[in-house]
Chain A
């Protein structure tokens, strides 16, 4: 065994799923362990299966999770915004039933955003290869799975349980040291994307490593991996460790008994071998990071909350300069303005990036600190799943939010993308805990500033972009 080439975790999982290779194209046929279907476009795939009479090869490995159209204002199908979207949500359930797939439909207490629900249910496990049509499928890599978004390959996977893929490159991003108070996992990943640029991860799988990542909870790791795609990477992943194993144990779809022991023994073989060569390496010092907030239209366009809107005039690359100018124009920003001088029109706390229980606790903690202060602007809090909502309500977080004038919504993607009807109006400025600040992302003309749940809650309370550390005086 001694002379074996060291492999990264990504390569180990890839090799373990390789069914065949195509010599001509260099692509590998990979076996898929889990496929998640959302409500947006999976109907094309089912139509395709029916038209060609293909059976679904492994119905038990496929999960239907309506999330994009789920209403924030109510939990039933009747609450979904319009007839067309109701039809699609309903069709997903019908299609899942017809083909024998597991479905967490509206009204099921386990429903929610796919990337929140699957880890929560133990559907996502280390060493698995998991796919979903949605680009933020990279989230699941936080548990040591290989996971990414696929375009229109859903029917192919349902019929063959396999997918053709070109090999990807390996990148390692190491974050070392201790985070300062107020600096969250969201701030860490925004800082990483800022360093890599919006296309810096193109063609790569990013493995996040280092002491600051090891010290993170699984929920924080999910936040980090979720945004890998915003650096252009195909996927993000974190080696499973004791934290991961403890998180998974006892979850409904996780293995148990003898199978559990077998699984854990396998998971321990997954971390990248010591001498693995990565195609690209980046190291960050966590202790130098601050709470971050975005100013532009990619997640790489971020500055510390204490910073200023950058000046395109100082940018020597002409393409970059004109894209900055366009972003500032769209965002209605002037170079040199202090981020903390920006007034905010509304706040959104939720999404597959930051809609988990720890995120809601962090936001509620800021509200509690503000002692009776009310939100100055409309603020919507949307739990990532029904179980997150129930847990938050057991802990009284909903009452904390409501007492401060925040709206408490029903689980789903909601204002992250606005496809359920909850949008940010044109020209309005929204501090959002989601992952994308593209032109029109939260509604035509919407101006999104990405930030952590703590920063978002603080900004709701003051009505301007706020350094959450202002609320932490006396804590340190």
Chain B
């Protein structure tokens, strides 16, 4: 996984509330493998494409200024609904490295971290202000600093955010959660020994 430290990149604003994982990745693509070269086109597929497969000009990622976006700025209740990991995979394959929203579906949040994407929670007012700045100047960039835990908006204001230590170290090191947990192998092995002795039937 690519380590995440600082990122300055084009940010795409998306105002819609309650963007669930089914909108992010429609269920019919659940069976696709992440190595599928078409995967980037599955992200928001039904919002990006009209029924006749032409691009919908209204969708933010179809706007020329946002095509190369690596940051996605959503609204409240982002990534709720079905627990599909594929929703985070779709962002990753598209090239989005950071999603900012007021709050996230629990499982989606974890799946982002697992896939090297930084999920940032900012207040309702701050996300709205940032989206407005971006709408005003399409194609402008934000800077996200994970070690310092802040986002710098287009006007240079810094907004601090919270993240738990485990997710932070996974992302900064580009280590998978598995790698980090395996560093505790001595503890796991000691536990297993005790456990096996006490719970031999299990």
Residues of A bordering B, CB below 8 Å: 16, 19-20, 22, 24-25, 27, 29, 31, 33, 40-41, 43-44, 47, 52, 54, 84-85, 87-88, 125, 127-128, 133, 135, 149, 151-153, 155-156, 159-162, 164, 255, 259-260, 262-263, 266
Contact = CB atoms under 8 A, between A and B. Distances in A.
B179 to A, nearest CB: 8
Interface in B175-202: 176-178, 181-182, 184, 187-188, 191-192, 195, 199-202
A259 B114 CA distance: 39
Which of B31, B181, B188, B201 counts the most chain A CB atoms within 10 A? B201
Please tell me the size bucket of the interface on B. 20 to 34
Nearest to A27: B166
Contacts of B114: 152
Contacts of A133: 83
B85 A41 contact: yes
B33 A43 contact: yes
Contact of A88 (B31, B83, B88): B31
Given A54-B178, A162-B188, A263 B84 contact: no
B188 A19 contact: yes
B110 A152 contact: yes
A19 B178 contact: no
A20 B187 contact: yes
B165 A160 contact: no
Given A47-B33, A160-B188, A161-B188, A151 B107 contact: yes
A403 to B, nearest CB: 38
Contact of A25 (B88, B164, B202): B164
A164 B177 contact: yes
Contact of B84 (A25, A31, A41, A259): A41
Nearest to A45: B85
A19 B202 contact: no
A19 B181 CA distance: 11
Given A47-B33, A125-B202, A152 B111 contact: yes
B155 to A, nearest CB: 32
A266 B31 contact: no
Contact of A24 (B30, B165, B191, B199): B165
B166 A149 contact: no
A125 B199 CA distance: 12
B34 interface: yes
A155 B110 CA distance: 14
Interface in B4-56: 30-31, 33-35
A20 B33 CA distance: 34
Contacts of B195: 31
Contacts of A27: 164, 166
Contact of B191 (A31, A164, A266): A31
Interface in B144-173: 164-167
A29 B83 contact: no
Which A-B residue pairs are the 8 nearest by beta carbons? A24-B165, A152-B85, A151-B107, A263-B201, A25-B164, A255-B201, A151-B83, A259-B201
Contact of B85 (A19, A44, A125, A262): A44
B84 A260 contact: no
